[in-house]
Chains A and B, each alone.
Chain A
Amino acid sequence: MDLSVSLGSLTLANPLIAASGCFGYGVEYADAVDLSTLGGVAVKGLFLSERQGHPPPRIVETPAGMLNAIGLQGIGVHRFVREKLPELRDRRAVVFVNVCGTTIDEYCEVSRVLSDHEGVAAIELNISCPNIKEGGITFGCSLTGTHAVVSAVRKVTPLPVIPKLTPNVTDVASFARAAEEAGADAVSLVNTFLAMAIDVHTRRPKLSNIVGGLSGPAIRPIAVRMVYECRQAVKLPIIGMGGIATADDVLEFMIAGANAVQVGTANFVDPLIWPKLLDGLRDYMTRHAIARLGDIIGRLDTTKRETAWISS
């Protein structure tokens, strides 16, 4: 049974990647989860320097989901390569580093630092965080901005470059196309949906940042649709995400066209979810006599089917 999948030049042992912002720097989970058994680990977004993030409250629950406005609190790329990367390397994790920037130069500089260190498998470009004002989503919401960041980073690193796309645009497929034209190796989608929750008794927003990003099962059908649209638009490998909590959810994204997936919010609910998801994928492969999991990628059947009562 072969669960491995390819993302361009990268081959992952399986399609499951821990989603950035939902898995700390990976090391937090290293005693509970064998990191080497994951397809990959996408660590928390990194700027050049440390960043404090927003004051609490930073999360609030909503129906079948949650809003977050963490504000990219982080230790910065230099401390990351010094303090976290060696352990990730020792644990044989396939490390995707989520790279942030307020300017194109910062994206390039962070990527350059990472490229100089052993143990980074790929760069995920965060051009889609809805919770910070400068940089990030301002690039991700403009086709020229997306193209500019991706092509600039492409020039400074030999590592695979994977822009993470925002769903907060009219046509996400056009952004996948812009990324492809700029030389991206893959795209990942979707980041969270910009959203809001209000305490009606106090009339105050439930998040200190007023607005935040919606994640969890609530967004899954929209994310699946967006992955499907991107699959039609580009040849690039796609990392799909948005509310995945079961093996069936993983399969849904893969059939829609995702080569790999990320799991985020579900890891909060169950940090020991990974072997359960892998078991579920194996069960599916057994039941459907699938030898290579990669064979289901994009294999959505949209042919018209006659129903029995019509033909009889």
Chain B
Amino acid sequence: MLVDVDAAVISNARLSDDYSVVALAAPDIAAHARPGQFVMIKPCRGIDPLLRRPFSIFEILRDGDGEPAGISLLNKRIGVGTSLLYDVLPGSRIQCLGPLGQPFDTIDPPAEAWMIAGGVGLAPFVTLAEALRGRGTKMRLFYGARRATELYYVDEFERLGAEVTLSTEDGSRGERGFVTVPLDAALATTPAAREVRLFACGPTPMMRAVAKLAARRRRRCDVSLEQVMGCGMGGCYSCVVLTQAPGGSPHFVRSCIDGPVFDSTRIMWDALTH
């Protein structure tokens, strides 16, 4: 069910000079959202900037009775829209359309779910981890950032039962280097008989590297792609990704309605990073 809510900002918690978590009162969206889905946010009134922005649903917020009350967004200040959202004040209102897009598959034991997150690519994994915990599915989180101060919500994932492996580019926390280093090591030491499914979200080069590792180790990998999006509804054809089915010819598909989650083997990565 799709709804457009003039959602009140419950809080805007600054995590750093760039990151914040914006909580929105949007019970209908919260009640219908599935892991990995997104919302389209209008970060201001008026017509400049004009378009909405896509955001992963970061958390489902619940009231005292455990009923869905709202959602939160993990926001990283990059452009005009994200800067407006970073500065948004509690009590103000934000137009919020959703839930949108194809969710992650939630898998059951004995299969394991390994989530690989880079930076703000952590955003779709809280909802996935909650769903997996509900199914008793064993999960790991490989989470990389530039530095220790840009790793967030680690305790939350541990509370949800995920085994967390951290890495930072400057070595200030966890392993030094890209998140793919510990991932590769873990894949190499995991018997093929254990069913492991990878879920990746982060910078395109990271997802591409994860997809490559997955292919080499014959593991299925789903990636959540972020593209410039005009409408989120399949109307504008701006968020397309070049894909190829086995034996088929390449064609552009809309990441808003066919994605944002894709089987990584469908993606023509050269076209995406170009």
Contact = CB atoms under 8 A, between A and B. Distances in A.
Contact of B240 (A56, A64, A66, A269): A56
B209 interface: no
Interface stretch (A28-36, A97-105, A134-142, A229-237): A28-36
A28 B257 contact: yes
A23 B236 CA distance: 7
Main secondary structure of the interface of A (DSSP, over half): loop
B233 interface: yes
B271 to A, nearest CB: 7
Most buried by B among A22, A24, A216, A245: A24
A211 B271 CA distance: 20
A73 interface: yes
Interface stretch (B22-30, B46-54, B122-130, B141-149): B46-54
B88 interface: no
A146 interface: no
17 contacts: A29-B234, A32-B233, A53-B237, A57-B238, A59-B228, A59-B230, A61-B49, A63-B48, A68-B238, A70-B236, A73-B252, A217-B47, A268-B235, A270-B95, A271-B4, A271-B231, A271-B233
B274 interface: yes
A166 interface: no
Given A55-B274, A66-B230, A270-B4, A28 B235 contact: yes
Given A61-B49, A63-B48, A73-B252, A267 B231 contact: yes
A265 interface: yes
A219 to B, nearest CB: 12
Given A68-B236, A73-B240, A272-B4, 19 more contacts: A22-B231, A23-B235, A24-B237, A28-B257, A29-B233, A52-B251, A55-B274, A56-B240, A64-B48, A70-B236, A216-B50, A245-B47, A267-B231, A268-B52, A268-B231, A268-B233, A269-B52, A270-B4, A271-B231
A58 interface: yes
A222 B257 CA distance: 34
B64 to A, nearest CB: 31
A65 interface: yes
Interface of B: 2, 4, 42, 47-52, 80, 95, 97, 227-228, 230-231, 233-242, 251-252, 257, 271, 274
B2 A269 contact: no
Nearest to B79: A61
A295 B109 CA distance: 67
A56 B228 contact: yes
Nearest to A74: B237
Given A56-B227, A64-B47, A268 B2 contact: no
User: Among the interface residues B2, B252, B257, which one has the most CB atoms of the partner chain A within 10 A?
Assistant: B252
A47 to B, nearest CB: 14
Contacts of B271: 55
A199 to B, nearest CB: 12
A217 B238 contact: no
B252 A59 contact: no
Contacts of A44: 237
A22 B235 contact: yes
A52 B50 contact: no
